[in-house]
Amino acid sequence: MTRFVNVAAAQMGPIAKSETRTQVVARLIALMREAKARGAELVVFPELALTTFFPRWLIDNEAELTQYYERAMPGPETQALFDEAHRLEIGFYLGYAELAQEDGRLRKFNTSILVDRRGVIIGKYRKVHLPGHSEPQAGRQHQHLEKRYFERGNTGFPVWRGFGGVMGMCLCNDRRWPETYRVMGLQGVEMVLLGYNTPFDHTGHDDIDALTSFHNHLSMQAGAYQNATWVVGTAKCGTEEGSKMLAQSVIVSPSGEIVSMASSIGDEVITAKADLDIGKRYRETIFDFARHREPESYKLIVERKGAMPPPLADEVSLG
């Protein structure tokens, strides 16, 4: 029996600093309704989808900073999104800044949740790969202070059964790392959901930043193909508080092909009827991990002499 997930990516245009949660949630609900009207059973929102991308600023005032975080999910302003999901019978992925009372202290994470068609949270992921810096960088028009405002996520990369398949989550910079997909791939993931905020000046090097769009799709297409999984990548984009951010949200098949892509730099829903058995075919043939992976050969052979070039003076363990 063929298994399909009707999935939507709900790309968002900029969120102004002055926009309230209630206003943003109203935008999310409008996108959710459109996704449902177009047949989706699952809609993927961006990373930090409830606020402007605040890591672009140095914010020293703790009270001002914590306004960007959610203390509860759902909370007073986000409950309406869960209620609407329940009413429409549509699931969703949502990225947000999380303030958690954990281990006797307040902890900050860049988080995403997976919510089922009853409006119940079935999965939570906390971003592992935090890009940027913990200290402001001189000479940069926009900072990228994720390392200052979030702790490294402590969830690892779990997968969840839902929507008739095996679902995984990650957030933005995670999509550039092969380990992200492979850890989920080894658990049989069939669809990876991810949101991103990618400023066009994200490295500060013109030659790299000119390839922002190419590297975005390259990462997701490679991750999808090499792990036989669908990837749904959803942008927050456009010019947000003076920072230009990449759009081009995509739904990528396990073949590595982009089957749907956003064409605007604003709020836009794209959809696909994702056949999970495409991934199964790849996993049973070219990417049959049990038959073809060679984990023994991936270990660093420290003792080996002769066959490898001599180490450089500053070379350290590959970790």
Task: Work out which of 131, 158, 164, 256 binds ligand CDT, going by CB under 6 A.
Answer: 131
196 binds ligand CDT (CB under 6 A): yes
CB-nearer residue toward ligand CDT: 131 or 158 = 131
197 binds ligand CDT (CB under 6 A): yes
Work out the number of other CB atoms within 10 angstroms of the CB of residue 44.
31
- Angle at alpha carbon of residue 236, lines to 192 and 155, rounded to 5°: 40
144 binds ligand CDT (CB under 6 A): yes
Report the C-alpha gap between 133 and 296 in whole angstroms.
Answer: 35
CB-nearer residue toward ligand CDT: 126 or 176 = 176
51 binds ligand CDT (CB under 6 A): no
Scanning 31-39, 158-166, 171-179, 281-289 for contacts with ligand CDT by CB under 6 A, the matching segment is: 171-179
Scanning 73-81, 178-186, 197-205, 271-279 for contacts with ligand CDT by CB under 6 A, the matching segment is: 197-205
Closest approach of ligand CDT to the CB of residue 68, in Å: 14
Q: Would you call 98 a catalytic residue per the annotation?
A: no
Q: Would you call 62 a catalytic residue per the annotation?
A: no
- Angle at alpha carbon of residue 198, lines to 265 and 318, rounded to 5°: 150
Per the rule left: phi > 0, alpha: psi between -120 and 50, beta: everything else, 204 is: left
DSSP class of 223: H
CB-nearer residue toward ligand CDT: 34 or 241 = 241
Asked if residue 241 lies in contact with residue 52, where contact means CB atoms within 8 angstroms, the answer is yes
Task: Identify the three-state secondary structure at position 63.
Answer: helix
96 binds ligand CDT (CB under 6 A): no
Task: Tell which residue, 102, 69, 84, 74, has the closest CA to residue 10.
Answer: 84
CA 25, chain centre distance (Å): 19
Closest approach of ligand CDT to the CB of residue 288, in Å: 31
202 binds ligand CDT (CB under 6 A): yes
Q: Would you call 34 a catalytic residue per the annotation?
A: no
Report the C-alpha gap between 62 and 82 in whole angstroms.
Answer: 29
| H or E element, residue 162 | strand 159-162
CB-nearer residue toward ligand CDT: 90 or 235 = 235
Which positions are annotated as active-site residues?
47, 127, 172
Binding site residues, ligand CDT, CB under 6 A? 47, 131-132, 144, 172-173, 176, 196-198, 202
